[in-house]
Amino acid sequence: MKNKKSHKLWERAQNVFPGGVNSPVRAFRSVGGEPVFIAQGAGTYVTDADGHEYVDFLSSWGPLILGHAPRKVVKAIRSAAKRGSTFGATTRAEVDLGEFILDRLPFAERLRFVNSGTEAVMTALRLARGITGRQIIIKFEGCYHGHNDALLAKAGSGLLTATGNIAEASSPGVPEDIVRNTLVLPLDDSAAFDAALKKYADQIACVIIEPVPANAGLLLQRRAFIEYLLTSARAHKVLVIFDEVISGFRLGFTGYTGRENLIPDIITYGKIIGGGLPVGAIAGSAEIMDALAPKGPVYQAGTLSGNPLAMAAGLAALSELARHDGAAYSYLRDLATHLRRAFAAEIEPLFAARDWRIQLVQDESLFWLSFRKAANSETVRTVTAIEGFSAKVYAQIFHAMLDAGIYLAPSAYEVGFLNTAMKKKHIEYFVSTLKKIVQKLPEKISGFN
Ligand SMILES: Cc1ncc(COP(=O)(O)O)c(C=O)c1O
């Protein structure tokens, strides 16, 4: 058996954690089979418990934009650990990282550090409600913002016919009373947004969006749509939250906000900001952020917030990203271009005679393999545009790639991440392996049933 040690660990894990995991997608349920247990990572490689090496296109779901165990980050964590791991008191490390970030984000005046993206979003929602004195939150179908109750919501059954209806809980345990204050709208639909604003006008506290939605595939939005959200929300005194937990420090240091110069009221960060350790943050103007306790009335706190090890890791990682005028981002852009070109040259021609094809969707170092009917070439911008057969094709590709030493997200709806430890040869290996796999896959969609 190839994965003997992983299998043994998996058996043990079943008796310890619900479903064997500490976060559901790790269980491989949507691609089938058993997960491999990762023992270590170095650069762009991870090694599993049985000693198999993989080129890692997951990068821990985004934080590891510099690859695994980058020397400077490891050194910073080691040196911080020697001075003590947590004090529950103010430290220089948090001021250093906070200043470093604010100096480079011209649109933010204040930050608060928390321990995860979920926590950052939870705080952002409370802040928006606290400031506006309103209750309703608008989110978009296909955007994920962590496992906050208010956002574990799906479109209510009437939504397709009458936009702006109240949502339903998408998980047991989420009180209906809470999601009653959430509206779930389709992406890429300004009219639906207008209708919601009109219907609930002065009850809406905020609208939250991943400006580059990367949790139901990569649903690239038109700039005009995001711009429209900003202007019409402002006209109704509705606050706008950009959830940049994935896109922050990835689409360039200043994320989507800086790249597009489209500035929301509140921004949430996570992942890259902690250099691989658990950090989230909320950022905004002094006026908005100062509503947080102790300066303002909106309560928020955390025993381990601004943790010195995490701050040191974050500072080391962000310093690397900011060095040489952001050379890391130029490098990632080159890798992304290489991927796009190799994909167009090697993969696209394979689909000339098929009734389905793979589309590479990409923004900077984020990419997604989207499965389309051959006739359908428009950009996928909404969840409902994702083809039903995607999960089945992806499951086959995922396992074949894993066998060939390429680690991808274990779900068709998750994106891939390039990191600076990657070389062009890794991209070429990715494409040549995918090519071999696709050549063996059924030529007709019906073959996946
Ligand atoms: C856009 C976005 N927001 C929030 C979160 C939640 O972050 P965390 O998993 O750190 O709680 C995620 C996690 O993937 C995310 O992608």
Tens of pLDDT, residue by residue over 370-386, are 999 988 888 999 999 99
Q: What local confidence, expressed as pLDDT, does residue 161 receive?
A: 39
Same domain, 183 and 114: yes
Domain containing 233 — which CATH number?
3.40.640.10
Q: Whose CA is nearest to atom 8 of ligand 1?
A: 117
Find all residues with CB under 8 Å of 369, minimum gap 6, and list them: 358, 359, 360, 361, 394, 397, 412, 416
Find all residues with CB under 8 Å of 344, minimum gap 6, and list them: none
For the segment 354-365, the average pLDDT, to the nearest whole number, is 96
Residue 201 binned pLDDT confidence (cut-offs 50, 70, 90): confident
**Does 113 map to a domain?**
yes
Per DSSP, what are the bridge partners of residue 357?
372
Residue 357 φ then ψ, to 5° = -155, 165
- Per-residue pLDDT of 414-429, as tens digits, reads 999 999 999 999 999 9
Checking DSSP bridges between strand 406-407 and strand 53-56, what pairing results, if any?
parallel
Same domain, 34 and 161: no
Q: Is the dihedral of CA 179, 264, 284, 211 positive or negative?
A: positive
Last residue of a domain, one of 306, 335, 360: 306
Find all residues with CB under 8 Å of 11, minimum gap 6, and list them: none
Same domain, 365 and 288: no
**Does 74 map to a domain?**
no
How many Å separate Cα 191 from the centre of its chain? 26
**Does 347 map to a domain?**
yes
Q: What local confidence, expressed as pLDDT, does residue 377 receive?
A: 81
The whole-angstrom separation of Cα 432 and Cα 342 is 9
Last residue of a domain, one of 253, 274, 306: 306
Same domain, 443 and 391: yes
146 CA → ligand 1 middle, Å: 5
- Tell me the HSE value of 45 on the side-chain side, using a 13 A CA sphere: 9
Q: What local confidence, expressed as pLDDT, does residue 62 receive?
A: 98
**Residue 415 near residue 368 (C-beta atoms within 8 A):** yes
Same domain, 251 and 120: yes
Same domain, 177 and 51: no
Q: Write a three-state SS string for the chain.
A: CCCHHHHHHHHHHHCCCHHHCCCHHHHCCCCCCCCCCEEEEEECEEEECCCCEEEECCHHHCCCCCCECCHHHHHHHHHHHHCCCCCCCCCHHHHHHHHHHHHHCCCCCEEEEECCHHHHHHHHHHHHHHHHCCCEEEEECCCCCCCCHHHCEECCCCCCCCCCCECEECCCCCCHHHHCCEEEECCCCHHHHHHHHHHHHHHEEEEEECCCCCCCCCCCCCHHHHHHHHHHHHHCCCEEEEECCCCCCCCCCCHHHHHHCCCCCEEEECHHHHCCCCCEEEEECHHHHCCECCCCCECCCCCCCCCHHHHHHHHHHHHHHHHHHHHHHHHHHHHHHHHHHHHHHHHHHHHCCCCEEEEEEEECCEEEEEEEECCCCCCCCCHHHCCCCHHHHHHHHHHHHHHCCEECCCCCCCCEECCCCCCHHHHHHHHHHHHHHHHHCCCCHHHHC
Last residue of a domain, one of 243, 272, 306: 306
Looking at the structure of the chain, the number of domains it has is 2
pLDDT at 321 over 50: yes
The whole-angstrom separation of Cα 317 and Cα 76 is 9
The residue whose CB lies within 8 Å of the most ligand 1 atoms, and thus the one to mutate among 25, 61, 114, 215, is 215
Q: Which of 45, 54, 144, 256 is catalytic?
A: 144
The whole-angstrom separation of Cα 248 and Cα 105 is 11
Same domain, 275 and 126: yes
- The two three-digit tokens of residue 22, written as one number: 């500490």
The whole-angstrom separation of Cα 248 and Cα 70 is 19
Q: What local confidence, expressed as pLDDT, does residue 423 receive?
A: 98
Task: Decide whether any atom of ligand 1 lies within 6 Å of the 121 Cβ.
Answer: yes
Residue 213: asked if its preceding bond is cis (omega within 30°), the reply is no
154 catalytically annotated: no
- Per-residue pLDDT of 231-263, as tens digits, reads 999 999 999 999 999 999 999 999 999 999 999
Same domain, 50 and 161: no
**Residue 185 near residue 196 (C-beta atoms within 8 A):** yes
For the segment 46-74, the average pLDDT, to the nearest whole number, is 98
286 CA → ligand 1 middle, Å: 24
**Does 318 map to a domain?**
no
113 CA → ligand 1 middle, Å: 15
Whole-prediction pTM value? 0.97
Q: What local confidence, expressed as pLDDT, does residue 166 receive?
A: 67
Task: Decide whether any atom of ligand 1 lies within 6 Å of the 146 Cβ.
Answer: yes
Find all residues with CB under 8 Å of 57, minimum gap 6, and list them: 406, 407, 408, 409, 416, 417, 418, 430
Same domain, 298 and 154: yes
Same domain, 141 and 47: no
Q: Which of 48, 188, 243, 265 is catalytic?
A: 243
How many Å separate Cα 38 from the centre of its chain? 21
For the segment 350-367, the average pLDDT, to the nearest whole number, is 96
**Does 18 map to a domain?**
yes
**Does 156 map to a domain?**
yes
**Does 242 map to a domain?**
yes
243 catalytically annotated: yes
User: What domain range is 35 assigned to?
Assistant: 4-68+325-448
The whole-angstrom separation of Cα 403 and Cα 101 is 40
Burial of residue 176 (number of CB atoms within 10 Å: 0-12, 13-18, 19+)? exposed
Task: Decide whether any atom of ligand 1 lies within 6 Å of the 117 Cβ.
Answer: yes
436 catalytically annotated: no
- Per-residue pLDDT of 36-57, as tens digits, reads 999 999 999 999 999 999 999 9
**Does 266 map to a domain?**
yes
Quote the percentage of the chain above a pLDDT of 90.
93
145 CA → ligand 1 middle, Å: 5
Find all residues with CB under 8 Å of 430, minimum gap 6, and list them: 55, 57, 339, 406
Per DSSP, what are the bridge partners of residue 54?
46
428 CA → ligand 1 middle, Å: 30
Same domain, 252 and 159: yes
Same domain, 293 and 166: yes
**Residue 272 near residue 249 (C-beta atoms within 8 A):** yes
pLDDT at 163 over 50: no
Domain containing 48 — which CATH number?
3.90.1150.10
The pLDDT mean for the chain works out to 95
pLDDT at 157 over 60: no
